[in-house]
């Protein structure tokens, strides 16, 4: 895998966490208040059904339960916990809590994928957390304990989903859009009845609410997850995970641009450190070993030889 290909794939994949960084401002400004299950269901089910209708491919064999598990981890439970954190914490603080994800991926990838933990990876993890901490935490940061717990659990769900997605890959002949549709639909079918039982529907839905749901479903889920899963196939799991630092960066920039929140010199320094962490992770990516989908399930479109593991 060449440096140029890694850089291009990283930039394309980075679009997903940048889009996800807008979740916090969309949640607080456009969605009905205190409806995390409804927000999660509306983000997943419509987009999933659209992709199923377009691709017309259903899971088969072991992919029924794998899809259910991946959809639950990557989208279902993750979406719910993400919106709980977004409702209970300032956007930047929620992003900071979930920035532990690369460290969790580092450990899980070593255990499940057999990836070697290198000192440069640990350095990148520390740089990323420090950078995001400087970027988003100030004296006004409110740490609701339930919000923090939800953010940590969301990071654990996404980290597990990333590693399992890398470990299993996808069935031969099945495209990224079909896999995305399977997982989004599975998540939506899990969330929709839970929404009706535990939250119910709001008395009225405004135009702003509909705009927020449409944005999160079409852009935040359908487009972003297709790019994210594409990146997981082409890049090492840890390198993709570090791209998630783009989410708090985007959330902070949107807060500055849309809500008029000022950026201090400390925040700017934190942003530079977080970007440096992402750059470090991507620089070492070509020398890391991407794991094939699974025995007998190598991607048909990927005809390049596997990259050998680092010595």
User: Which pLDDT does position 292 carry in this prediction?
Assistant: 40
Q: Per residue, what are the HEC states of 29-61?
A: HHCCCCCHHHHHHHHHHHHHHHHHHHHCCCCCC
Per 3-state DSSP, what percentage of the chain is helix, strand, and coil (rounded to 5)?
75, 0, 25
- Please give the DSSP secondary-structure letter assigned to residue 118: -
Note down pLDDT in tens along the chain; length 311 residues.
577 787 889 899 999 988 988 888 898 899 999 999 999 999 999 999 999 999 999 999 999 999 999 999 999 999 999 899 888 877 667 777 777 788 888 889 888 888 887 888 788 878 877 877 776 665 555 568 898 899 889 999 999 999 999 999 889 889 999 999 999 999 999 999 999 999 999 999 999 999 999 999 999 999 998 999 899 888 888 778 878 878 877 877 887 788 776 667 877 787 788 777 777 766 665 444 443 444 334 333 333 323 222 23
User: Which pLDDT does position 247 carry in this prediction?
Assistant: 81
Q: How far apart are CA 275 and CA 278, in angstroms?
A: 5
Q: Domain residue spans in the chain?
A: 3-287
Place of tokens 């394309």: 12
Q: How far is CA 155 from CA 52, 102, 109, 144, in A?
A: 27, 9, 15, 17
Half-sphere exposure of 139 (CA within 13 A, CB side): 1
User: Which pLDDT does position 63 carry in this prediction?
Assistant: 96
Q: How far apart are CA 301 and CA 311, in angstroms?
A: 28
What pLDDT digit, counting tens, does each position of 50-88 carry? 999 999 999 999 999 999 999 999 999 999 998 998 888
User: Which pLDDT does position 256 carry in this prediction?
Assistant: 77
Q: How far is CA 144 from CA 23, 90, 140, 245, 288, in A?
A: 19, 10, 12, 22, 38
């Amino acid at each position: 895998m060449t440096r140029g290909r890694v850089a291009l794939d990283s930039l394309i994949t980075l679009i997903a966490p940048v889009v996800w960084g807008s979740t916090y401002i969309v949640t607080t400004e456009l969605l009905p208040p205190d409806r995390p299950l409804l927000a999660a269901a509306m983000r997943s089910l419509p987009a999933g059904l659209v992709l199923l209708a377009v691709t017309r491919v259903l899971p088969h064999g072991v992919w029924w339960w794998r899809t259910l598990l991946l959809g639950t981890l990557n989208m279902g439970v993750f979406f719910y916990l993400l919106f709980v954190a977004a409702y209970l914490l300032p956007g930047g603080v929620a992003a900071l809590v979930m920035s532990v994800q690369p460290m969790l991926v580092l450990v899980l990838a070593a255990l499940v994928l057999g990836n070697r933990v290198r000192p440069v990876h640990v350095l990148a993890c520390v740089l990323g957390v420090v950078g995001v901490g400087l970027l988003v935490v100030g004296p006004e940061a409110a740490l609701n304990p339930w919000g923090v717990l939800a953010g940590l659990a969301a990071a654990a769900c996404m980290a597990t989903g990333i590693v399992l997605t890398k470990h299993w890959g996808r069935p031969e002949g099945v495209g990224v859009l079909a896999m995305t549709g399977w997982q989004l639909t599975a998540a939506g079918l899990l969330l929709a009845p839970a929404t009706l039982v535990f939250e119910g529907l709001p008395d009225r839905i405004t135009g702003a609410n509909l705009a927020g749901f449409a944005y999160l479903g079409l852009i935040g889920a359908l487009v972003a997850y297709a790019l994210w899963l594409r990146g997981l196939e082409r890049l090492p799991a840890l390198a993709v995970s570090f791209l998630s630092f783009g989410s708090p960066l985007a959330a902070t920039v949107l807060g500055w641009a849309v809500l008029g929140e000022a950026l201090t010199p400390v925040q700017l320094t934190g942003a530079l450190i977080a970007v440096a962490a992402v750059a470090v992770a991507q620089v070492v990516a070509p020398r890391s070993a991407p794991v094939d989908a699974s025995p007998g399930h190598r991607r048909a479109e990927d005809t390049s030889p596997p990259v050998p593991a680092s010595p």
